[in-house]
Structure 1
Amino acid sequence: MPPPLPVVRTVAELRAQVAAWRRAGERVGFVPTMGALHEGHLSLVRLALERAQRVVVSIFVNPTQFGPNEDFDAYPRAEARDVELLAQAGAHLVFAPGAAEMYPEGFSTTVSVAGVTEPLDGAARPGHFTGVATVVTKLLLQCGPDVAVFGEKDYQQLQVIRRLVRDLDIPVEIVGGPTARAQDGLALSSRNAYLSAQERPVAGQLNAILRTAAGRLRSGEPVAAVEADAVRALTEAGFRKVDYVEVRAAGDLARLGPGPIEAPARILAAAHIGRTRLIDNLAV
């Protein structure tokens, strides 16, 4: 059984521990999470352990990235279980601040990233990426890691973080971890807990439909036709609403022309089933 995993709740405690590791000449890795951990998160911890001697994992359900009608209050929280899983995965420290530690009275600064935040989830969830960019900037400056690992499931988020780190000269390497999936291809997500037994098989169709679409794109079919067919397929499969299925440039998520793709691209989708919003993406 792994030893108890230390949990700190203040920035001062976090920085003191990281400073001690630095004095010992150890590289520090960081994995930010909102808790309710699953194998996808744990795979990011293992990836961080390949690149650093010490790994910090944060658990903070960030209120500023949730819209007024989203699931902040209902978002799953299971800190004791999360800490146990992280100890088994080999993490060295959990940073689990409260909202007052992250956003003290009078807090009035936000980080806004232009361009890459505007389409896709930026359009579907106004204000979301300002909340993400602000909290990630704070976490990176609080921890000061050598390397931070984020999942590719949230591909647009990953590109936003890469941009803000570059633009603000934050001295950290950003690594994207491959999406962990269930046997039927469904991307692992804390929100999958919302799916009913009837909805779960339908949810697995999201990845299957994207895989079909990506294959058609690789064979040279026009972007516009593939996108339209994927939206239709999701609706026919039982998704009640499709926010988007779009093919975008892999780096800056710029819109591509309607014809065949000619450069590295990503197909990204967001769709609702029941009360659950699912996202996924694939390289093309």
Structure 2
Amino acid sequence: MLRSSSPHTLDGVLWAKAASLAALRQYYALPKKGKPQGCESTVLAAFLLSFPQNPLNPTVLSLATGTKCLGAARLARRALLRLIYAEIGTDNPPSWLVASGTDGRWRLKDGHQLHLYITQLPCGVMPVPPSPLEVRREQLDTMANGYSDVGFVQRKPGRGDTTLLVSCFDKITRWCAVGIQGALLSHILEPLYLSTITIGQLPGGAPDGFCIESNVVKVLCARLSCLSRKFPDPFKTNKPLFFEAPIPPKEFQQTSGDIPPLTCG
């Protein structure tokens, strides 16, 4: 646990367990098709919603698995956006979104919070801030409403030649600046920011000298500090709390050593 309390002033250990249990419970409720078989493994990511009445009983809004360039976190976000589009377009909008004013926009209901759970460390987490060895880029991506940032993007390993695709951690950094809703939904939805990011522990323990606080939190803060402090309204710099969840089941565990992992298709 990195801090003594979650956004709900509850013990972070309890929250990490609650988030991981909710995500895994939803995963195991799904059909067998597409899940790892035998020695296969995968990465699970889920977006959760907590409620002020019972914050330790979060609801899973979306989840996905993935191990290739289009990782689990991005797939889970894509599913979340589809859910928002579908529910806003009905006569009975979701109870966790409320009208933001008279301009037809929506926002997250007071007291409700969004969270991300990942069974493994997101790719792209580095022990130090971006170095000159990384590729300098003029623009990571066109952000919501035409806003963009300038910074670094690292090489991402692939099955063939290395690529210059942004890593999972790059995407998380972007979500901390402009929210997870994307450019199109930004026209009708105020930015949706994550309150916590919970990551499953490594089965064999963290490598010597590695801890989430130095390898994730400090790097994220360093990246966000490079962004312009003059964010266009209603965007802001959001720094979610990070927590370590219990070791995930074997099919989600990150393998170590020289043997290539057998990933689920």
TMscore range, shorter length: under 0.3
**Scaled by the length of structure 1, what TM-score is found?**
0.25
Which is richer in helix? 1
Higher relative contact order (CA 8 A, sep 6+): 2
